[in-house]
Each structure stands twice: as structure tokens, then as C-alpha cells.
Structure 1
Amino acid sequence: MKSVSTTPVGALALAAALTACVQQPKPLYHWGSYQPQVYNYFKGDGEPIDKQLVELEATVQKAQAKGERLPPGFNAHLGLLYLKSGQADRAQQAFRTEEAAFPESRPYMDFLLARFTQGKG
């Protein structure tokens, strides 16, 4: 008499039970609606800027609530939208946040911030 674990059905059931117990790895970043929004923004058929800001700010809140990081470029894009909506102080803060989260972005963020401060004066 065969045991259940040596039959193909038993092996399949055992494999399914073991994989059900395995935890999936936590994602590296909280993407939210960021990717489709950036795509639509550059494609030229995105939503109005104020609506994009609301959605991205909601993504920030969700990421913070879950203790997850935002992806590279998220805060830089948010800063761009803030600039386009006339919120220069918030744009500056978003660029600094991007720079702090991703030090490799420092040269470009410094470039944007320098242009920003030159434009103010």
C-alpha cells in the first residue's frame, strides 16, 4: 500500500501546503499610482495637475502608514508638479526629500535647486 506522500496527488498537495506557508518578500518600494501617472504625464494625456498632486500625496500617506519607501524619482516628480501648480516652497522640499532618500540624485537635485533659486532672484 502506497502512502499519500508518495503518490503524485500527495506530492502535489504537500508542495501546495508548503508554498502556502512561504511569505512573499516585502516590496522594495511603495509605487502606488506613480508609474502610470508619470507615463501619462509625459505622454501628454494625464489628468490635471491638481488631481495628480492629490493622488501622489495619497500615495505618500499610504507609504508612510505602511512604513514603506517611495521609489526613486517619486519626490522629484512631485516637486515638478508642485512647481507647475505654483507651490514653489513645496517643490523645493520635495527636491530635498528626493536628494535625502537617494543621494545619487544629489547632482541633479542640486542643479534643479540652483536653477530654482536663480529664478527667484
Structure 2
Amino acid sequence: MKSFLLKGGCLAATAVLGACAPVNPPLYYWGDYQNTLYLHHQDGVTDYSAQVSSIESILSQAEAQGKSVPPGLHAHLGMLYFNTGREIEAREQFAMERNLFPESAHFVEQILHEQPETAQ
């Protein structure tokens, strides 16, 4: 019985002290990106304009709050821009991705290399 009370007391103390721990804010502003990304990977879903609007909204909300967006978001928007024929904007988004996340440069260059050169 004494052991049970001791374990219960330790568990209660841990729960109380754990609840007081400071919560670190997220490193990136994700907005509704998870749902947009899920929609992007569904078979047969080609409503790129809705995905573009969603990501543009996430970017404007993040900017308004002074927060950073996660790696890959600008690249994703760039791919959507390519899919909707907006090549100049796509290249701008890939440049932004490369500037914010230099480790993505190889990935970005590979995608840009695979895109046909077209005039907009």
C-alpha cells in the first residue's frame, strides 16, 4: 500500500510539474498546409487553383504574423504554378525556397531542369 501511494504521489507530482513546463512556439507557421498537402496527394485531384489559393493564404497569414513558413512550401507553390502555366511566378517561388532553405538547392535545381522553357 505504501509503495502504491509513493508511486501515485510521484505520478501526480510529475503531471503537475509537467503541466507547468514552458511550451515552445512552433518553429514554422503551418496554417492549413497539412490539408492542402493531403489534397495534393489524392488520386485524380487536379484542382490546382484551390491548392494555390490555400498556400497563398498561408503565406499571407504567416507574413502578417511575422512567422516563417516550413521548408517545401514555396517549392510546392512553385510546382502548382508550373501546373497552372504561371512559369515566372513558379521560378520566383523556387528562388525563394532556395534562398530560405539553401539545403534544398539541389532539389530545386532538379525540378527547374525538368521543366520545359516556355514564354509566358
- Residue pair 1:37, 1:46 contacting (<8 A) in 2 also: no
Change (3 A) 1:111 1:48: same
Whole-Å separation in 2 of the counterparts to 1:99 and 1:64: 18
Moved beyond 4 Å, runs of 4+: none
TM-score, structure 2 normalization: 0.75
Match of 2:37 in 1: 38
Output the amino acid matched with 2:61: K
TM-score, structure 1 normalization: 0.74
- After the TM superposition, which residues 48-87 of structure 1 pair with which residues of structure 2 at under 5 Å, given as runs? 48-87=47-86
Match of 1:3 in 2: none
Match of 1:95 in 2: 94
SS at match of 1:120: coil
Q: Name the count of aligned residue pairs.
A: 106
Post-superposition offset of 1:23: 5.0
Whole-Å separation in 2 of the counterparts to 1:33 and 1:45: 21
- Larger helix fraction of residues: 1
| Structure 1: gaps of 5 or more residues | 1-7
Whole-Å separation in 2 of the counterparts to 1:46 and 1:68: 30
Post-superposition offset of 1:120: 3.1
| Structure 2: gaps of 5 or more residues | 1-8
Whole-Å separation in 1 of the counterparts to 2:58 and 2:46: 16
Change (3 A) 1:102 1:85: same
Post-superposition offset of 1:119: 2.9
Whole-Å separation in 1 of the counterparts to 2:24 and 2:46: 33
| Aligned partner of 1:119 among 111, 117, 120 | 117
